[in-house]
Every structure is written in C-alpha cells, then in structure tokens.
Structure 1
Amino acid sequence: MSEQSTKRLAALREKMAATNTGLIAIGPGSHMDWVLGFHPHPDERPCLLLIAPEKEAFLMPVLNAEGSREFTDIEFFNWADADGPIEALNQTLAAIGATAPGKVALDETMRADFALLLIDALPADTERTFTPETLGALRMRKDSAEYKKLKMNAGIADRAIQTAFSKVKPGMTETDLAAEIRAHFSSEGASPQFWIVGAGGNGAFPHHSASERVIQEGDAIVIDIGGRKQGFPSDITRMAVIGQPPEGYGQIHSIVEKAVQAALKAAKPGVPAKEVDAAARGVITDAGYGEYFVHRTGHGMGIDGHEPPYITATSDTVLEEGMVFSIEPGIYLPGRFGIRLEDIVILREDGPEILSSLPRDVHVVRL
C-alpha cells in the first residue's frame, strides 16, 4: 500500500472513532480513488472496499481481481458469477470484524443494489448513514499534491479560454467555438469534460451546452468550460462580446463582478458556507436582479468536478483551510443574455487563493 493510502486510511479511522462508525463501505468511484489511488472497473458486479476500525478488505469480482491486484495489497474476497457475492461478502465482513458494526457509513455514490446487498447482510438494528462526517470531511481539505494538480488544470483552462477569445467571431456557431475549446484541452493532454457556449439569449440558460446557433454581432457569450488531467478537473467561466455590447451589459457585468468580490471577501476559515452565498446574493439582490440569480454561488471541486462543500443559501458547512470551491454568481435575463463569472479558489488561512490567473474582464471582439 502506498504511503498516501496508509496515511489516508489512518485519518479515516480517526474520523470513524470520533463518529462511532464501525464500518465504511465504498464502491468503485471517486471515494475509492481518494483512499487508494485507483478503483476497479465499475459495473453491475458488486465490488466493495470495506473498512473497519482495525482491518480492511475487498469484496471483489473474480473478473476484476487480477487487474486490481497490481494496485493494492489489500486482502480480496473474490466471487464468481456462478456463485454470486453473498457468501464472499459474509466472509469479508467476518475477516475485518464487522459482522455487527453498530453504525455503517455508505458511499452515497455507490449503486443502490450494492448498498442493499450490504444492508441485508448486516443486523437489522445497524445504524445507516453516509460519508460526509468521515470520508467526505477528509476529502474537502486538499493537500499540497491535490493543490498542484488543480492549479495545473486551472492553467490549462485559462489557456483554453484564451484560445476561445482568439477564435470567436461572427458567423461561427456555438458548436464551432466549442470544438476549438475541446481541441485546446486535448493539445495539452487534458480530456475535455464540458463546454458551455451560450450566445445571446442562450446565455440566459445557465446549463446551456452548445448549439448550432450562429454567433452574431452584439452577442454576449457565456463560456463555461472544464477539462481533466492527471485525475483532477478544471472549471472556469468568462464572458466575450462581439462588437458593441448589448444594452445594459456593462452595468450587469459590474454587478456580477461585485458579487464575486463580496463572496471572496466573505470566504474565510470558520465561516459557514451560507454566508458566502449570502454575500454574493446580497449584492445582486440589492441591485434589483435577485430573481435572475437562479443557482447556488458555488460547489466544491477535487477528484469530482462537483463535490462538497456546496456554497448554498442553506449550507451550514463551516469552511476550513484547504477547501476548494467555485465562486460563480450570475445574472440571467431571459431572451437577452446571461453573465456568469466563475473562479475556483482554495481557502488559505487569510482567505481564498484564486487558482486561475485570467482576469474576469469581458473580452470584446473588435469588428
């Protein structure tokens, strides 16, 4: 087992002790990636990493065993299609001393049939919860290695935005511009993950993707993109305008920028996440556009592009040093345009460090 995995399992067991958790069950996915640095192929065959206070083991489909063994020395309890997983699961629980764990924390992203299989194998009075107090709490605070990968990806996304700025022109379609963005990510060895290009009225749909709409003079364009390299993602939103901005654009861009600044100022260790949302939302509401800010102020980012902490109006999550999240307020005017400005930050002792180096100013295409 790697030094990193050993440290993370130790930290996880400290959280288990503090929360009186007798078993953590993790399916193939990002939680397993965080703990072990890999996960077996995810399919319909039950595969679980089961972690008890003293020992851990895998319930492992035979088909995945050989390919997984090169990544970990954790004990496997294999099962074949001809036999089914139940006997192997009972053996796994017995081997790690978790036949009656008292409280089990389930990976909230695992398949429901995996979870039900495990629940049925445990005593009926077992308390069931999910991972936010244990594994989730640890994942929210990024270490230096995670920071470096996130920072690297932010730089790639900056350059992809700059490519979009250099290529955008009237007459091309949203999908044409999206193709230029994807090509840039690929040119730097990153896998393109998403490409929102919303011109004119399409920019008023926060999760518009890219369509065959032709970009025209006077369009304000939302460009929200992300890629992935070395297991970590990027996410950034910037604005472009073709020629003369639409009426009222400058004023609204200024309001959204002030909302970003208010959220950045509010984001400190010890502050509830909802106070950061309130800071951004208050600026937009006070300016008379509250009804047009239709989503949360931000989301966490790490192995997953969207993960805790979530910067919402109701989140009581207390922000801590090392947490990484987006700040992305927006105003969306139906039929006219939308403006969203997004940066990913890591929280330091004295406040947020922005991972991007790209200014939030609108890029104006001169005609």
Structure 2
Amino acid sequence: MYEERMARLRDRMAETGTDLVVVGPSSHLAWLAGMSPHGDERPVLLIVSRDHAGFLMPALNVDSQRPYTKLPFYPWTDADGPNAALAKLLKDSGADRSDLKIALDETMRADFALLVIDALPGAARGFLTETVSVLRGEKDEAEYGLLKMNAVLNDGAMKAGFAALKEGVTELEVGQAIRDFYAANGAKAEFVSICFGENGAYPHHHTGNRKLKANEAVLIDIGGRKDGYPSDMTRVGVFGDKPEGFDEVHDVLERAVQAALAAAKPGVAAKEVDKAARDVIVAAGYGEYFLHRTGHGLGIDIHEPPYITGTSETILREGNVFSIEPGIYLQGRFGLRLEEIVILRGNRAEVLSDLPREAFRVKA
C-alpha cells in the first residue's frame, strides 16, 4: 500500500513540477509511509525526489524504525548534528540544482523546515497542498472501510449519550458515558462536546458541570478513533418538551443538509456546497446565526482538506471525505447543528452514518 502511495506521489510531483517533497513526523508521514517516529527536537525528515527517497533520522531511533520501512536512513548523532547527514540525503536526492521546486510539510516544526530552507536557499518553496494533501483527500477502499466502521460505531456512542440524559445529570457525566462506550468497543474518544440548553449556542462549547433541566435542547458533537481513523458527528435532541422555535430551526437545518448533499459531487467547487447549505438558512431568516463554514475534510486527521467554505475554489474529487454541518446558534436560548460525514462515490455524496438526523426525544 505504501509503495503504491509513493508511486502516486511521484506521479503527482511530475504533474505539478515538484522536485522535492519534505515530510516531518506528522499524519502526512503516517499516510505516506506508515510511520510515526518519536517526535522531539531532533529533526526527522522523509525527503522524496522523483527517483530517490530517504529518512533523515536520529541515530538513536534507527533500530526502532527499521522494521517499518525499506527506505534508507541517513542517521545523525547528537554529537555531530544533522547537517552533514542532511547534505548527503539532499545530494542523493538530486537536490543540487538552483531551480528546485520543493514542497514542505506545513505541519512540521519550523526548525525542521528551516534546516531544509537553509540548505537549499535558492529553491522555490511551497507546502504539500498540491501533492500529498490532494492524494490523501482521495480515499481508497481500505480507508473508506475504516471510516465507515468508525461512523457506525459513533452512531452507538451517540445513542449512549442521549440514553444517559436525566434530570440533574451534568454534561461531563453524559460525556463519560460516551467515553465508556468508545472504550468498551475498542476505540478512544477524540473529542466529546455535550451542550445543554443555552450552551448549545456556542459552536465550540467546552463540556462542563452544567446540569440538565427539563424542557431543554441538547446538542452532542462527538468523535472517536479506532484502527487509526476517526469519526465525527453532531445530533440534537430535547429532554422533555421542545423549547419554542426548536422544530423550526431543526427543519431549516435538515433542508440545509439536504441541499448541501445534493450539491456535493466530484467536479464541483467546495464553495458551491457551502452556498447550497447557507442559501437555505439565509432564506429562512437565520443567516446571521450560521457562524462557521459548512464543513471540513476528514481522514487520518479530524480536520484536513478539503475545507467547505464560502470562498474555497477547491474542486471536489472522487473519494473526498468531508463534513456537512450547518448550524444555527441562538444566544441565551439554544443552538442546533446537524453534522454528517460524507464520501464522494459514484457521482454523489454518500453519508457514512446510519443514524437518522431526527431529533432525539427523551422523557423528563
């Protein structure tokens, strides 16, 4: 699998005129080489050219990382520093021209990047946006299977959260019920946001000791991780009777999700998906209460390209996985958001979750 990904990267490098790709310890490296070397202040770099690839690696980590790759290591010691090993790796990679175009891992440490920049002062520099990131965005069948499995597992975690609602329970206690569900199913919680009543009006509310009262809206946004890939989903419900305006806002959001799902196809600009959802909300009179973008990509990282924003010119591609999550936030009252993760397959957006978007109803 990783040899195939490396071959795809080299094809993409040729298409984009990229001579050198430089990757640090990151999710980019995990995707490209299946490696997660120990990360500290000691530089670790994978450098890929059209006909060579190798690792700049601290000597003390070489033995532990050898089982994970056949690529050559260029080791360096604390006594000698990394510069000589890096110079040899760059020479072996053919990086001895003045007109190089290099792509740097935008997520790695700045001091790692500066090592390469200082060694290649005349190179044209960019990030991995048009190389590794594009390829990571085109999920293969194995990734689809893992993301689907995590989405269905997350359905169960969501049900466990709403099943834990009772008068006087705290947001943290409901969150713990969800964490326990993940653990019982071999996953770990990536994030758990439980929002009672007015706390739902904060899109990034931090779960706390707020106690649940009767006749309140509840928003739950959660994600877990199993076998290296995550999930992400938001659902809403009520404990007791619905607060005034709940059904109207929920209906607007459901129509916004459906509009975005219809717009999301390979070949469409990401901004058109955002516009489809936003137009529904604006037409209903709630435009000022939709406070964020419509979605974000999901893969090894919970947030990765493509980003579904009102200005993104990114053209969506077959295999892209991203969220569709319009929200309406009414300060002092409640906030609602409906979030699906979709994959573009067969010229349409396929929802990964099997859980309906209908509001949960829990008796007070």
Question: Do the two structures share a fold, i.e. TM-score over 0.5?
Answer: yes
Output aligned runs, 1:1-367, within 5 Å.
4-100=1-97, 102-122=100-120, 124-367=121-364
The amino acid that maps onto 1:264 is L
Structure 1 range deviating more: 124-133 or 92-101: 92-101
The superposition leaves residues 56-91 of structure 1 with CA deviations (integer Å, 9 ceiling, x where unpaired) of 010001121111101011100101111111111101
SS in 1 for 2:253: helix
C-alpha separation between the residues in 2 aligned to 1:99 and 1:210? 53
Q: Deviations over 1:96-137 (max 9, x none)?
A: 222336110001101111001110011x22100001111111
**CA distance in structure 1 between the aligned counterparts of 2:363 and 2:209, rounded to whole angstroms:** 23
Displacement of 1:44 after TM fit? Answer: 1.1
State the one-letter code of the partner of 1:99: D
Distance 1:20 1:128 in 2: 12
Displacement after TM superposition at 1:209 (Å): 2.3
Letter of the 2:148 counterpart: K
Q: Which amino acid aligns with 1:83?
A: D
Tell me by how many angstroms 1:300 deviates: 0.4
Partner Cα separation in structure 1 for residue 91 and residue 123 of structure 2:
16
TM-score (norm 1): 0.98
Cα deviation, residue 5, structure 1 = 1.2
In the alignment, the residues of structure 2 paired with residue 354 and residue 204 of structure 1 have an alpha-carbon distance, to the nearest angstrom, of 25
Runs of 5+ consecutive residues of structure 1 not aligned to the other structure: none
Identity %: 55
State the secondary structure of the residue aligned to 1:70: helix
Alpha-carbon distance in structure 2 between the residues aligned to 1:149 and 1:225: 17
What is the CA–CA distance in structure 2 between the aligned matches of 1:320 and 1:134, rounded to whole Å? 14
Shifted more, 238-247 versus 96-105: the winner is 96-105
Offset of residue 269 of structure 1: 1.2
CA distance in 1, matches of 2:206, 2:177: 14
> Structure 1 runs of 4+ off > 2 angstroms?
none
Q: Which ranges of structure 2 fall in alignment gaps of 5 or more residues?
A: none
State the Cα RMSD in Å: 0.8
In 1: Cα distance, 2:35 partner to 2:145 partner: 19
- Separation in 1, partners of 2:203, 2:6: 39
2: CA distance, partners of 1:130 / 1:64: 26
